[in-house]
Amino acid sequence: MNIETEKKFLVLDDGFKAQAVKSYRIRQGYLAHDSGRTVRVRIRDDKGFLTIKGPSIIPGSRPEWEKEISLQEAEDLFALCKPGSVDKTRWIIPAQMPGQAGHDGRYFEVDEFHGENDGLVMAEIELGSPDEPFERPSWLGKEVTDDKRYYNGYLAEHPYKTW
């Protein structure tokens, strides 16, 4: 099982799109979400995934288990999900790390939300530790890592447009 350490930010403008190396559409629903534990089903383009996340160990870090499943299995599991879902386009942007001449394998994932969360654009970067430094691109805004309103599970139940 992996420990995921990430930081989340609001995005100021769409300057990230010119830096993107790929993008894909994501739809996800939640089978369970309480006490910091999440069981989610996701369809990314034509692939399905089942993900289980545990409660945060330290801010921004939590255990995560993910398994690819068939598209049909993912569609079947959507029928069992709680009401509400998340629909977004994810843009992948190489991240510059201090002291590195080029890209070192780290990426910003920028989520441009659709539907009930339309208008919300967030970026996250996965780090080796919560205090690992990284270069902030000009389009990166306020950090919202610890604001639960910006968690996808919360957005599925309490859409951004209702705040």
So which residues are the catalytic ones?
Answer: 30
Write the CB contacts of 83 (distance below 8 Å, at least 6 apart in sequence). Answer: 157
Rounded-to-integer distance, Cα 9 and Cα 59, Å: 14
Residues constituting the chain: 163
Write the CB contacts of 34 (distance below 8 Å, at least 6 apart in sequence). Answer: none
Angle at 91 between CA 96 and CA 155, to 5 degrees: 115
Cα-Cα end-to-end distance for the chain: 35
Specify the 3-state DSSP secondary structure of 152.
helix
Rounded to the nearest 5 percent, the helix, strand and coil shares of the chain are 20, 50, 35
